[in-house]
Amino acid sequence: MTGAACGAALLICVAAPATFADPDSNDIIQKLALPKPDAADLAAPTRGIRAVKPGRPAHAPEPAPSIDLAIPFNSGAATVAQEGAGIVAALGHALASPELAADHFKIEGHADTVGAASANLALSQRRAENVVAALTQRYGIAADRLSAVGVGSDRLVVPTPDQTAEPRNRVVRVINLGAGP
């Protein structure tokens, strides 16, 4: 391959944007469902000892099931944009499903890097709260199953420099916390 061809190939690979497909409720259920224990795990008493998956440190807990949803928010706004209603509906139907009905969830609001970090933190909190409000008011999800947390621009989906309006960083992460108290 010539230098120019390699450069062009690299440009194509680097320039391809990360995209989100709008998930349906089944996609969300699949991502958020807690792993089911093996029948062998249930049958054999272990007295507090558990098997560790190969390649995983013994002290590392399994990551909680989660999904990032590209719920559209306008830059600087906390209300879900009209084109995001379908994603919130899919989330509401998923959380109401028998597979997830017993679980509790953290709804994390994220922001891009435009503006001050403190303003982004407050904005991301309001975004998370608005999604929680929609889930409780429109889809009947019990409020005690949901917690809203804003993380601001601390955990970017797409690394960007400060003051970059990147819509892919204005996401909502939903994390399954398991069965409640």
Domain that holds residue 149: 22-34+61-179
- In sequence order, which ranges of the chain are alpha helices (DSSP H)? 3-15, 25-32, 39-43, 85-96, 117-139
Instruction: Give pLDDT tens digits for 83-134.
Output: 899 999 999 999 999 999 999 999 999 999 999 999 999 999 999 999 999 9
| 163 occurs within a structural domain | yes
CATH value at residue 142? 3.30.1330.60
| 40 occurs within a structural domain | no
Task: Determine the pLDDT at residue 5.
Answer: 43
| 13 occurs within a structural domain | no
* Number of C-beta neighbours around residue 4 at 10 A: 8
Quick one: tokens of 44? 């054999």
pLDDT over 70 percentage in the chain: 73
| 86 occurs within a structural domain | yes
CA dist 78 and 133 (Å) reads 12
Instruction: Give pLDDT tens digits for 121-175.
Output: 999 999 999 999 999 999 999 999 999 999 999 889 899 999 999 988 888 999 9
For the chain, what is the domain count? 1
| 137 occurs within a structural domain | yes
Position of tokens 């949803």?
69
pLDDT at position 44 over 60: no
With vertex at residue 98, the alpha carbon angle to CA 171 and CA 25, rounded to the nearest 5 degrees, is 35
Position of tokens 């792993």?
35
**β-pairing, 103-109 with 172-179?**
antiparallel
| 3 occurs within a structural domain | no
CA dist 34 and 83 (Å) reads 29
| 43 occurs within a structural domain | no
| 113 occurs within a structural domain | yes
**Global pTM value:** 0.76
